[in-house]
Structure 1
Amino acid sequence: MTHIRLILLLCFLLPRFHEILCNIDTDTDALLSFKSQVSDPTNALSSWSLHSNHCTWKGVTCSKLGNKVQSLTLPGLSLSGKLPPHLSNLTYLHSLDLSNNNFHGQIPKDLAHLSLLNVIQLSSNNLSGTLPPQLGHLHRLQVLDFSVNNLTGPIPPSFANLSSLENLSLATNGLEGEIPSELGNLRNLSFLQISANNFSGQFPTSIFNISSLVFLSVTENNLEGELPQNFGHVLPNLKNLHLASNMFEGIIPNSISNASHLQYIDLAHNKFHGSIPPFSNLKNLTHLILGNNFLSSTTLLNFQFFDSLRNSTQLQDLRIYENHLAGELPSSFANLSANLQHFCVSYNSLTGNIPQGMKKFENIISLSFENNFFTGELPSEIGALHNLQQLQVQNNRLSGEIPKMFGNFTNLYLLAIGNNQFSGIIHQSIGQCKRLTFLDLAMNRLGGTIPREIFQISGLRILNLEGNSLHGSLPPEVGTLKQLETMNISGNQLSGNIPKEMEACSMLKSLVMARNKFNGSIPTNFGKLASLETLDLSSNDLTGRIPESLEKLQYIHTLNLSFNHLEGEVPMKGLFMSLTKFDLRGNNNLCSPNKETAQKLGVLLCVGKKKRKILLPIVLAVVGATALSISTLFVFWTMMSREKKRKEGEISVLSTPLQGLPQNISYGDIRIATNNFAAENLLGKGGFGSVYMGVFSFSTGETATLAVKVLDLQQSKASKSFNAECEVLKNVRHRNLVKVITSCSSLDYNGEEFKALVMQFLPNGNLDENIHREDEKSGSFLTLMQRLNIAIDVASAVDYLHHDCDPPIVHCDLKPSNVLLDENMVARVTDFGLARFLSQNTSEKQSSTLGLKGSIGYIAPEYGQGGKTSTEGDVYSFGTLLLEMFTAKKPSDEMFKEGLSLNKFVSAMDENEVLKVADGRLINDFESWKQSSKCIVDVIKVGLCCTTDQPKKRWSMREASSKLQAIKHSMLAL
């Protein structure tokens, strides 16, 4: 009895003794409370029972004295629920690991009461809310890992008090704000991982002074800053440096070689400029990724750089894509590590031959030389690279025959050598690449027939043989390509019938066979190609009727059967009732029994058989006689009219006309071509005039469909707009700018002044109507990849205007309705009526003559305050256009008022919320949800970086274009 009284007395007088002996069930209660509030679908906590000591339970480790819980380790058990605050009752807890589960809700701030904690591992859950600043009181904490959750808000400055911290991992959340400079006080920190968040502002230079750092990763944020010139001296222990996808700038310091322990360097997708420094002392280097920056070089600098990597014998990955590298690659390329697996120098300006010496790279997986100016032949020694999976040399100037080496590539899945000058035949050995999914041989000078062996590659998904000189027939084996999604064999000399076996290509989405010599009829079973979205059989010798089975195609949005010899009635059901992108021209014997449909399709009105027998000869005779009379008068009138215009200087040619089209087009020509400016030919109206479609017939016998922009000269600034557009367009030429044939400035038949621009006609309308199309059921919306390509096209055009024209040109009215789409959905920027040339001597007064420069919703905020014309204004408009493309929300929407704009609306959201406001059709468009989601988020980030309120903080169009190219590159690479 005396002993019991003594124990009770000690319980009240000594708190620690109380915890150990007097209240030994506290930890048990806390653990059971935890279990009761957690969902355990795999029954992982079945051992947690009062029938056994809690120290024997799964995941629980106790102290030797008093059975106090010191470690709770339950990773990867599919546990879910909110983290209960009762965990704070485990007062002797040293380590908490609940990673890779499904816990949600906020992080309990009561964890700050566990003063003995060394480790908190809560990564890979669904936790939300902000980081509790109270955790800054855990002075013994060594590991803090909240990565891969849904956390928001800033890093609390109190975290700078975690003096024992060695590992801080906050990656892949929605954290934002600036990184506290006080983190530089964490002198024991060796691992800092804050990638894939929304951090912004200057990256604290104080962190570069933490000499204990071994791993530093801040990729995929909006951080700015420069690497210190003494980088290699202040971070001597660093092994991993990940700064990709930020806005770091400046030069890469030469001292980086002094950080001799470096193994992984990733500085891609930033603004680093200058030459690439030598990496002479990095013997442990395995990855060097410098892509998508502004790094430059010459042949001499290339020699120095590759020589500096001679001692990096562990190098596996070298990527310097999308920079400004020039000159030749040196022969010392062959001295790179034999462990090399990935080599990429694509999207630069490199010249000369692709260097020899690759035979030693037995482990190489991918070689990327595309989009440069390489010449000469493709080295045959590439055939020795048996592990090669990707070979990309497209868009260069390579020539000669393609080496017969493909039988060695048993692992190759991507082969792209298009848009070069290769000649000879396609070797049948390509058929031995049984894993091939992507084959691009387009736009070369290849001849011969298509080897049947290619059609035996069962996994082939994309086949592009466009623009060669291939002949012969398409073999029936094409039907064995069950996975084929895209086939483009246009622009060759292929002949024979279209194989009926193609009905078996059930995954086919795009089939382009235009500009060949195919004959016979369209296979009647093409309606079985249920996934088909694009069908282009134009400019062949096809005969017979249009198969009624095509009516069943639910997803098709582009149908081009023009310039064949098709006949009979056009089917009247299914896609033919809803399709908007079709072309049946040049089939003179096609007809429709319905007058309205006939006009819509551009075909004849069908005539009954009896009436046809009687009326046809009469109609032909009358039409023939009339045509002859009109032609005679028209030729005489045209000659007289053009002679008069020549004397009066009426015609002004703006740029090189489209091949084969005459440069002189008069008011009379335009009036006839547009059917006296008929309403059915009106394509749209703009601020200073209207645009019509016109079908021009020339004395050469040729016809052409062109677009005519007719100025409304009643408006005071219309003439100034016309003159500005003429002045700009005569100085520019780019594949993504609308081609202008000529201008016409004369008098109409009433003696009134008439001004017009005659331009290339683009059949797919403008971007605005394609984004906001309402006919959802037709499936004719722009796909994710189409939108990305269009964005790149527009960015390339404006980049050209800003950076490659002298003087630079500012468009001043960039918006979706001023972006037109051609037959291949290539975007072309139009309407330069507000454009301005920039000059260093241009005064503020001259720059501001337009007042508000552009259209409401797309105008940069500084223009509204009288700011001068600048390239930054175009960048803002482009960013707004980009956000509209991927959210399908107009900046003029009623929801954007009282200071709220499209960019502010989007920028206020975290990544998951952004996906909710993105155009919902895009998420399911690509086969990988994760891939498409990342693409959308990345593009929207580009849009936001272009629409910041401060002009100087906006990206340049060159940067935006490079970023979009990189996004596309990563999409295609996956």
Structure 2
Amino acid sequence: MKKLHHLSLFILHFQIILFSSMNTVEALDANPNKQALLSFKSTVSDPQNALSDWNSSSSHCTWFGVTCTSNRTSVQSLHLPGVGLSGIIPPHLFNLTSLQVLDLSNNSFQGQIPAGLSHCYNLREINLRRNQLVGPLPSQLGHLSRLKFMDVYANNLSGAIPPTFGNLTSLTHLNLGRNNFRDEIPKELGNLHNLVLLRLSENQLSGQIPNSLYNISSLSFLSLTQNHLVGKLPTDMGLALPNLRQLLLAENSFEGLIPSSLNNASEIQFLDLSSNLFQGSIPFLGNMNKLIMLNLGVNNLSSTTELNLQVFDSLTNCTLLESLILNSNKLAGNLPSSVANLSAHLQHFCIESNLFTGKLPRGIDKFQSLISLTLQQNLFTGELPNSIGRLNKLQRIFVHENMFSGEIPNVFGNLTQLYMLTLGYNQFSGRIPVSIGECQQLNTLGLSWNRLNGSIPIEIFSLSGLSKLWLEKNSLQGSLPIEVGSLKQLSLLNVSDNQLSGNITETIGNCLSLQTLSMARNGIMGSIPDKVGKLVALKSLDLSSNNLSGPIPEYLGSLKDLQSLNLSFNDLEGKVPRSGVFMNLSWDSLQGNDMLCGSDQEVAGKLRLHTCSTKKKQSKHFGLTISIAVVGFTLLMCVIFYFIWALVSRRRKKKGTKESFFSRPFKGFPEKMSYFEIRLATNSFAAENLIGEGGFGSVYKGVLRTGEDGAGTTLAIKVLDLQQSKASQSFYAECEALRNIRHRNLVKVITSCSSIDHTGGEFKALVMEFMSNGSLYNWLNPEDSQSRSSLTLIQRLNIAIDVASAMDYLHHDCDPPIVHCDLKPGNVLLDDDMAAHVGDFGLARFLSQNPSQSESSTIGLKGSIGYIAPEYGLGGKASTNGDVYSFGILLLEIFTARKPTDEIFQQGLNQKKYALAVQANQVSEIVDPGIFSHTNSSELSPFISSSACSNHSSTSSTISVGRNKNEECLAAIIRKSEWVKRFQPSTAAKLDSPS
């Protein structure tokens, strides 16, 4: 009985325990935090099953990513970064009122950030970075007074930053970077006195940095890069933010000086002010002894050799410096020797696109940690130091577009990590170093536009990873080695403008990654290999100006990606393919291949080729074709010889010389010259090369190297001053005027340049034939005021005739006629043989053939005082009469050496009255006395019987010898030519005729 009683008590106790447990489970199942999490799971997408253990049979406090409070009922932390969740952030999270940490970063959540998160008033950390969230930041989040950390970096959020965020006074980290936030930075953020990190980079914020931000002395990290912020930085910035470790303001529009007070922010490790509008000099930064990275590139900073010394001396105190980036500024002068005293930890040294000059300082081999050396687009001279070969960690060497000379040192065998090497656009000579072939990691090799000779080393073609190879514009010889076929990764090969010979190796077909192949302007012969048609990735092929023969491979038409093809000026023959790139090919891509033919009349007409004929038709009409060709050729040669004879005869009469009328050849010149070529030719626009200045720019003497031996061709380069309001219009007017005119007495324009200079500014220039004897103005007005012009009477007559010939051509042989509008001695240039050439067509006008239309011009009518026709001053239109007036003034000046603005013409005595007041026996009183001192009477014999020097009253028969002969001739010129009438615009038209 007793045992039965004990059993009953045990059963009752078990029932009580079981009932109690069941109540506890029911209580857990009814927990709102658990229900909120289960609802969260049911709403989101979970492809990686990260939430697989979230189920009702277990406590939610044991689930993945969930941390509960000590009572194990309320969720304290939800930590689910990078687990592949997607969908919208469900509102069920609002029930987690005890939640302190919410981390859903690196997932794919979409939609907007719910404003209901503000109900989780205990939140201390919100991390939603790297999702796909859109819309604005809810202003209600500004009520989370306990929030210390907020990160929404790399989403698609937009709108303005809510000013209510200024209430988050506990906040230490605020990261809103890489979104689409707009408008200004709210000044209320200055209330966040505990803020350590503020990142607003990569947005579209505008306006200035609010001054209130400079009150946050606790700031250690400030990043505002890639916005549209403007204004100047405060001068006391370094004092206001003494705890800054990273200051990143790149890619904005900040201007003014870099505050020197930054030197007081001694904790700074990373300073990036690049891509702004800062100007002036670089301040002293020597107190930043913790500096690791300094980037001041792409600004308007300037320097001199002395300032460079201060800057680099101060940076020697930054013993932890790893990156120094000063590219794309206006820093000039020599690099001081203190560069070698920079941090031994230096890994990146970048000073490209500046104006540094002189030789590289010694000691560069100290930087044994150097990874990249970037010196391109400067004015460095001298040789590349051998010590560069001791920097065995170098991966990138960029020294192109400088003025380095001498041989490239053969020291690359130790640079086993070298990835990119560009030495192009310098003056290196000698052979390509074979040690480059030991840089097995090399991807890019640029050696173009130098003076390199010899053959291409076979060792280069052992670089299996080589992708880009530039060797153009050198004097390389030999053939392209068959080893080129081993470059499986090669995407670009340019060996144009060398002296290569031999055949195109068939192994080129093994370079299946090749996209660009240029072998133009060499001496390559033989046929185009069929295997070129197997280069399936090929986009551009240029084999022009070689000695290639045979047919065009049909395979080229099957290259689907081929967009550009140039086979001109070879000896190719046969039918032109009709598929692929040939469907849209133009005539200039095949010109100079006389044996090519079109498959039908349509193709032949389009490409300016003859139609391919059958063998039968060829034999039937062969004799007739030959006969016609012979007769036609004979007639053509007769016509050519007749015109040559006529032109030479005419020139001999005018000049008494045997000079040829044909312009000097300018073969080898590019269609357009680059800014770099012009800068190199003029020695960086050196003052000693300045030969003249005008209203719209300056003219420099330049030497362009065109020969393999380094010999150059002297040119005149007119550089437009684009700060002048109409300089660009003048450039286009001159180009338009000179584009289609050709005459022996006009200055020949060889090419042009419309580019960007080293500062990123617009650059325009005209490249012209150099006139060694300068302008007529300098001959009539020698620098020594006491000396007389040394021009003889014969030379002056020839100059006058040359100018008249040029004006006659412009007025009567051009369609439409061209009016120069600025004829004066300064625009008349003299060549080696003292032949005159009219130049400067910046004010030229095209005259419409329709009387109802005005002359064509984009520039207001201008001219030079004393030479411009009076009717122009009264609003008259440009006309040939105006040029005739200027020509009359010019003629008197040629023989009197008196400018129309000369002091002698003051007080009402102008050139007209001056000429009328002189009779034949007084001619010696008005003409340049230098005529008599430099003219031999025997030189006049060819002119005594000519109409130019004969008197209509038969005075020529009584002309005496010697000085009297000269005076009579000059008097006859004045009377016969009736120059005085030319000064009357109303009668100018009578004299404006070809005769």
> Are positions 1:754 and 2:817 aligned together?
yes
Shift of 1:473: 1.2
Distance in 2 (CA, whole Å) between partners of 1:89 and 1:588 is: 86
Distance in 1 (CA, whole Å) between partners of 2:499 and 2:461 is: 19
Shift of 1:656: 12
Distance in 2 (CA, whole Å) between partners of 1:449 and 1:175 is: 58
> Are positions 1:632 and 2:641 aligned together?
yes
Q: Which residue of 2 aligns with 1:152?
A: 158
Question: Counterpart of 1:217 in structure 2: which amino acid?
Answer: S
- SS class of match (1:136): helix
Question: Counterpart of 1:623 in structure 2: which amino acid?
Answer: G
Q: Which residue of 2 aligns with 1:611?
A: 620
Q: Which residue of 1 aligns with 2:474?
A: 468
Which of 750, 753, 756 is equivalent to 1:734? 753
Change (3 A) 1:65 1:615: same
- SS class of match (2:636): helix
Q: Quick check: 1:444–1:467 contact (8 Å CA) kept in 2?
A: yes
Change (3 A) 1:756 1:473: farther
Q: Which residue of 1 aligns with 2:429?
A: 423
Q: Describe how 1:674-753 pairs up with structure 2 within 5 A.
A: 734-736=753-755, 737=764, 746=809
Distance in 1 (CA, whole Å) between partners of 2:565 and 2:373 is: 37
Distance in 2 (CA, whole Å) between partners of 1:229 and 1:78 is: 48
Q: Which residue of 1 aligns with 2:977?
A: none
Distance in 1 (CA, whole Å) between partners of 2:30 and 2:807 is: 97
Change (3 A) 1:726 1:577: closer
Question: Counterpart of 1:441 in structure 2: which amino acid?
Answer: L
Q: Which residue of 2 aligns with 1:161?
A: 167
Distance in 1 (CA, whole Å) between partners of 2:120 and 2:526 is: 82
Distance in 2 (CA, whole Å) between partners of 1:727 and 1:617 is: 42
TM-score (norm 2): 0.65
Which of 474, 484, 487 is equivalent to 1:478? 484
Q: Which residue of 1 aligns with 2:358?
A: 352
Q: Quick check: 1:725–1:833 contact (8 Å CA) kept in 2?
A: no
- SS class of match (2:379): coil
Cα offsets for 1:372-407 (capped at 9, x unmatched): 000011111111111100000000000111111111
Q: Quick check: 2:222–2:248 contact (8 Å CA) kept in 1?
A: yes
Change (3 A) 1:162 1:51: same
Shift of 1:88: 0.9
> Are positions 1:367 and 2:373 aligned together?
yes
Distance in 1 (CA, whole Å) between partners of 2:262 and 2:493 is: 47
Which of 28, 31, 35 is equivalent to 2:34? 28
Q: Describe how 1:911-926 pairs up with structure 2 within 5 A.
A: none
Q: Which residue of 2 aligns with 1:923?
A: none
Distance in 2 (CA, whole Å) between partners of 1:500 and 1:644 is: 60
Cα offsets for 1:645-694 (capped at 9, x unmatched): 99xxxxxx9x9996699xxxxxxxxxxxxxxxxxxxxxxxxxxxxxxxxx
Shift of 1:593: 4.0
Q: Describe how 1:31-430 pairs up with structure 2 within 5 A.
A: 31-65=37-71, 67-430=73-436
Question: Counterpart of 2:817 in structure 1: which amino acid?
Answer: F
Cα offsets for 1:4-28 (capped at 9, x unmatched): xxxxxxxxxxxxxxxx999960101
Change (3 A) 1:728 1:296: farther
Distance in 2 (CA, whole Å) between partners of 1:837 and 1:315 is: 59
Cα offsets for 1:750-797 (capped at 9, x unmatched): 99852499xxxxxxxxxxxxxxxxxxxxxxxxxxxxxxxxxxxxxxxx
- SS class of match (2:133): strand
> Are positions 1:522 and 2:528 aligned together?
yes
Cα offsets for 1:672-726 (capped at 9, x unmatched): xxxxxxxxxxxxxxxxxxxxxxxxxxxxxxxxxxxxxxxxxxxxxxx99997877
- SS class of match (1:448): strand
Which of 834, 844, 867 is equivalent to 2:858? 834
Q: Quick check: 2:565–2:581 contact (8 Å CA) kept in 1?
A: no
Q: Describe how 1:794-805 pairs up with structure 2 within 5 A.
A: none
Which of 439, 446, 451 is equivalent to 1:440? 446
Q: Which residue of 2 aligns with 1:552?
A: 558
Change (3 A) 1:311 1:721: closer
Q: Quick check: 1:120–1:143 contact (8 Å CA) kept in 2?
A: yes
Change (3 A) 1:305 1:660: closer
Q: Quick check: 1:87–1:111 contact (8 Å CA) kept in 2?
A: yes
Cα offsets for 1:794-846 (capped at 9, x unmatched): xxxxxxxxxxxxxxx99xxxxxxxxxxxxxxxxxxxxx95367999xxxxxx9
Q: Quick check: 2:587–2:607 contact (8 Å CA) kept in 1?
A: no
Distance in 2 (CA, whole Å) between partners of 1:560 and 1:455 is: 26
Question: Counterpart of 2:515 in structure 1: which amino acid?
Answer: K
Q: Describe how 1:504-583 pairs up with structure 2 within 5 A.
A: 504-580=510-586, 583=589
Give 1 or 2 for the bigger CA radius of gyration.
2
Question: Counterpart of 1:622 in structure 2: which amino acid?
Answer: V
Number of matched residues? Answer: 688
Question: Counterpart of 2:347 in structure 1: which amino acid?
Answer: Q
- SS class of match (1:327): strand
TM-score (norm 1): 0.66
Distance in 1 (CA, whole Å) between partners of 2:228 and 2:448 is: 39
Distance in 2 (CA, whole Å) between partners of 1:278 and 1:104 is: 48
Question: Counterpart of 2:388 in structure 1: which amino acid?
Answer: I
Q: Quick check: 1:745–1:753 contact (8 Å CA) kept in 2?
A: no
Shift of 1:585: 1.7
- SS class of match (1:225): strand
Which of 597, 603, 617 is equivalent to 2:603? 597
Shift of 1:594: 2.3
Question: Counterpart of 2:87 in structure 1: which amino acid?
Answer: G
Q: Quick check: 2:730–2:859 contact (8 Å CA) kept in 1?
A: no
Change (3 A) 1:728 1:179: farther
Cα offsets for 1:477-517 (capped at 9, x unmatched): 10111111111101111111100110111111111101111
Question: Counterpart of 1:579 in structure 2: which amino acid?
Answer: L
Shift of 1:298: 0.7
Query: Which stretch of structure 1 is more off in the superposition, 63-72 or 140-149?
Result: 63-72
Distance in 2 (CA, whole Å) between partners of 1:721 and 1:382 is: 44
Shift of 1:635: 3.1
Change (3 A) 1:622 1:339: same
Q: Which residue of 1 aligns with 2:989?
A: none
Question: Counterpart of 2:433 in structure 1: which amino acid?
Answer: H
Distance in 2 (CA, whole Å) between partners of 1:514 and 1:598 is: 25
Residue identity over aligned pairs, in percent, reads 50
Question: Counterpart of 2:340 in structure 1: which amino acid?
Answer: A
Distance in 2 (CA, whole Å) between partners of 1:660 and 1:494 is: 16
Change (3 A) 1:348 1:752: closer
Distance in 1 (CA, whole Å) between partners of 2:174 and 2:199 is: 6
Change (3 A) 1:631 1:129: same
Question: Counterpart of 2:577 in structure 1: which amino acid?
Answer: P
Cα offsets for 1:898-942 (capped at 9, x unmatched): xxxxxxxxxxxxxxxxxxxxxxxxxxxxxxxxxxxxxxxxxxxxx
Distance in 1 (CA, whole Å) between partners of 2:134 and 2:733 is: 58
Question: Counterpart of 2:391 in structure 1: which amino acid?
Answer: L
Cα offsets for 1:29-74 (capped at 9, x unmatched): 1111111101111111112111111111111111113521111111
- SS class of match (1:71): strand
Question: Counterpart of 1:625 in structure 2: which amino acid?
Answer: T
Cα offsets for 1:391-428 (capped at 9, x unmatched): 00000000111111111111111000001111111111
Q: Quick check: 1:559–1:582 contact (8 Å CA) kept in 2?
A: no
Unaligned runs of 5+ residues in structure 1 are 1-19, 647-652, 662-718, 758-808, 811-831, 840-845, 850-974
CA RMSD of aligned residues (A): 3.4
